[in-house]
């Protein structure tokens, strides 16, 4: 954790670095390559002020920088917005050697990455996540995509970026609840792989819940390192990478039920408690570990329950979860802290019983 920047390598067929710290935008020109001429800077509308220095850094390096605003949040991840970007890329005359820079939260980087993956069958993308959730989850791993009415992230592509720049100063203006939402993915990394994350949060939950907390960079770096190690070994979610979906089966169902107006991290927090209860009822996880889920998540301001009457709707939504195989529902569960496993085809009574522990 020493030095001005932390650097995490994501290995694979197309390796890249995730750079974490203050002043990391200086590395942007070096990631765009010497063949690019035009750079499309896709940014959330509300981040025009942050996108400006990104465009300036690109322009100073001799590229033609074009700021392309898109709607804030999940409203960006729609087919119409994606088609609009394709038209704008065509208008800029973007070729296969040109590049896309995605600036914003996870929704924006998901969209920008998919636009890059699909334009001319793939152009380079550099991602500049500006939220905690974007830094530790969406921007790392090469998964890109959009939502459709039938579900979240059902249309997309694997497209590893040329690099990811996590400018920690961008976290300072995040609303408290949005920052807490990102902490859900940090805590998830602690439960599935790195218990030191949990210890840091438990030792100082108030500090963990602040962007200027004493361990912010370490928490971000540790969460990124967990994801990097997993996706380096399994880019296309053929096995190991599934553990990153801990809590996400119920979470995605909640998001769909809420028409994607529910914070992703809040849904993941509830989903992790549900998965923990499922594992406990299946005889695989101790009650103390389940209660640790609730305690850690509550300590940083995250929810651990959802509407009791929502189960029929949530169960129907889970049927088309991406982790399902045919008619078999699959869950990532824990056999202990940092001991992830899978639960396939659980009994319907077990599923409902676990939800009763979460419903309120």
The binding site for NAD(+) consists of 72-77, 106-110, 130-131, 143, 152
Nearest-angstrom CA–CA distance, 355 and 360: 10
Tokens for 343, please give them: 């639960």
* Residue 153 among the catalytic residues: no
Q: Where are the beta strands (DSSP E) in 284-339?
A: 330-334
**Which one is catalytic: 43, 159, 225, 248?**
248
* Residue 143 among the catalytic residues: yes
**Which one is catalytic: 45, 229, 237, 258?**
237
**Which one is catalytic: 143, 159, 188, 293?**
143
* Residue 237 among the catalytic residues: yes
Nearest-angstrom CA–CA distance, 100 and 104: 13
* Residue 121 among the catalytic residues: yes
**Which one is catalytic: 43, 188, 215, 227?**
227
**Which one is catalytic: 66, 242, 245, 323?**
245
**Which one is catalytic: 159, 264, 266, 330?**
264
**Which one is catalytic: 43, 252, 323, 330?**
252
* Residue 66 among the catalytic residues: no
Phi, psi values for residue 96, rounded to 5°: -65, -20
* Residue 256 among the catalytic residues: no
Could you tell me if 217 and 21 are in contact, meaning their C-beta atoms sit under 8 angstroms apart?
yes
Nearest-angstrom CA–CA distance, 35 and 38: 10
Helix (H, G, I), strand (E, B) or coil at 302: coil
| Burial of 204 (C-beta count, 10 Å sphere; 0-12/13-18/19+) | middle
Tokens for 168, please give them: 């920690």
* Residue 293 among the catalytic residues: no
* Residue 241 among the catalytic residues: yes
Residues in the annotated binding site: 72-77, 106-110, 130-131, 143, 152, 185, 248, 264
Nearest-angstrom CA–CA distance, 21 and 167: 6
* Residue 185 among the catalytic residues: yes
**Which one is catalytic: 188, 241, 280, 323?**
241
Q: Residue 155: count other Cβ atoms within 10 Å of its Cβ.
A: 16
Residues in the annotated binding site for Zn(2+): 185, 248, 264
* Residue 307 among the catalytic residues: no
**Which one is catalytic: 167, 185, 255, 277?**
185
Kindly list the catalytic residues: 121, 143, 185, 227, 237, 241, 245, 248, 252, 264
């Amino acid at each position: 954790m020493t030095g001005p920047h932390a650097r995490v390598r994501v290995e694979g067929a197309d390796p890249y670095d995730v750079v974490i710290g203050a002043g990391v935008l200086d590395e942007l020109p070096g990631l765009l390559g010497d063949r690019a001429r035009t750079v499309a800077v896709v940014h959330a509308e509300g981040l025009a002020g942050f996108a400006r220095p990104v465009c300036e850094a690109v322009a100073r390096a001799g590229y033609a920088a074009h700021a392309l605003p898109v709607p804030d949040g999940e409203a960006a991840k729609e087919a119409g917005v994606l088609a609009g970007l394709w038209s704008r890329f065509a208008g800029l005359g973007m070729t296969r050697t040109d590049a896309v820079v995605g600036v914003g939260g996870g929704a924006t980087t998901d969209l920008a990455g998919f636009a890059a993956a699909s334009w001319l069958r793939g152009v380079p993308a550099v991602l500049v996540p500006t939220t905690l959730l974007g830094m530790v989850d969406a921007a790392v791993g090469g998964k890109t995509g959009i939502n459709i009415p039938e579900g979240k992230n059902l249309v997309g592509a694997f497209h590893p970026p040329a690099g990811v720049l996590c400018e920690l100063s961008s976290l300072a203006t995040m609303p408290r609840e949005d920052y807490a939402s990102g902490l859900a993915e940090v805590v998830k990394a602690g439960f599935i792989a790195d218990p030191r994350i949990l210890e840091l949060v438990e030792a100082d939950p108030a500090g963990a819940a602040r962007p200027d907390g004493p361990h912010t960079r370490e928490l971000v770096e540790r969460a990124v390192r967990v994801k990097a190690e997993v996706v380096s070994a399994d880019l296309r979610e053929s096995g190991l990478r599934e553990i990153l979906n801990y809590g996400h089966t119920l979470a995605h169902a909640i998001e769909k039920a809420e028409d994607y107006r529910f914070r992703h991290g809040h849904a993941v927090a509830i989903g992790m408690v549900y998965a923990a209860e499922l594992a406990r009822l299946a005889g695989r996880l101790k009650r103390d570990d389940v209660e640790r889920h609730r305690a850690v998540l509550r300590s940083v301001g995250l929810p651990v329950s959802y509407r009791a009457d929502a189960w029929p709707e949530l169960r129907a939504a889970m049927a088309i979860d991406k982790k399902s195989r045919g008619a078999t529902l699959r869950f990532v569960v824990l056999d202990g802290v940092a001991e992830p496993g899978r639960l396939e085809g659980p009994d319907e009574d077990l599923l409902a019983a676990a939800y009763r522990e979460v419903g309120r």
